[in-house]
A and B are shown apart, each in its own frame.
Chain A
Amino acid sequence: GAGVSQSPRYKVAKRGQDVALRCDPISGHVSLFWYQQALGQGPEFLTYFQNEAQLDKSGLPSDRFFAERPEGSVSTLKIQRTQQEDSAVYLCASRPLQGMNTEAFFGQGTRLTVV
C-alpha cells in the first residue's frame, strides 16, 4: 500500500496476556518509530529503528515491551503480560531518510485495551 499500515486496528487483551502489534512501513523507508499515545496526551516515543538496527529503545516503559524489525521492513511491537496501564493507541511511523528535515508518516494506530 501507499501508506503505513498497522494491524490489528483494535485489540482487547486480558490482563496478563501477551500481544503483538504489527507495522508495515512505507516501502523503502529507512527509519521506523513506535509511539504510545494515552488518552488526551500526545504521542510518546517508545523506540526507533534504522533499517534492522534498533538504535534507541529508551522510551520503552518496561522490560515487558520488546520491538523488532529483523529484515529492515516490517516491525513488531510485543508486550508481554499486559497490564491495564498498557491500554493506549500504539502508533507506528516511518521516514524515508536518516536526515533531520523530513516528516514522519504515521499509520492509523492500534488501539489496545487491557481488561
Chain B
Amino acid sequence: DQQVKQNSPSLSVQEGRISILNCDYTNSMFDYFLWYKKYPAEGPTFLISISSIKDKNEDGRFTVFLNKSAKHLSLHIVPSQPGDSAVYFCAENYGGSQGNLIFGKGTKLSVKP
C-alpha cells in the first residue's frame, strides 16, 4: 500500500488563479514533508517543506498546509503562472535520522495563459 498518495494525476489551471495540489499519507511516525517540482528531463528540485510543529508554511507564492488529524497536506500556488507547469511530487521524510524520502506518484500541473 502506498505510504504517500497523490490521487490527482493532473490538474489544469488558468494563469492568475490558485492551484491546489493534494497529498495524503498513512505513516504517522515521521512528520516532515516536502514538495518537489520536476520539469521534463531534469531532476526534482526542492520547493517547500513543513514539519508537524506547524500547520502552515509559506514562501512567496507557495504555501503548504498540513492537517495531521486527516493525514493530509496541500500545496497552494497563487497566483499560478505558466512557468509553474511541471510535475509536483509530495514526499514524506521516512527513516528518522536516515532521512529517506518516500514520494507520491506526482501531479502534473498545467497553467494555461
Footprint of B on A, CB under 8 Å?
A: 4, 6, 31, 33, 35, 40-45, 48, 50, 55-56, 91, 93, 95, 98-109
Contact = CB atoms under 8 A, between A and B. Distances in A.
A55 B6 CA distance: 28
Contact of B99 (A41, A43, A102): A102
Given A33-B100, A98-B97, A103 B43 contact: no
A112 B101 CA distance: 22
A108 B103 CA distance: 17
17 contacts: A33-B100, A41-B105, A42-B4, A42-B89, A42-B105, A42-B106, A43-B44, A43-B89, A43-B101, A48-B98, A91-B43, A98-B98, A99-B99, A100-B93, A101-B32, A101-B49, A107-B43
Contacts of A107: 43
A108 B105 contact: no
Contacts, number: 72
Given A101-B51, A108-B41, A45 B100 contact: yes
B95 to A, nearest CB: 7
Interface of B: 4, 6, 9, 30, 32, 34, 36, 41-46, 49, 51, 89, 93, 95-106
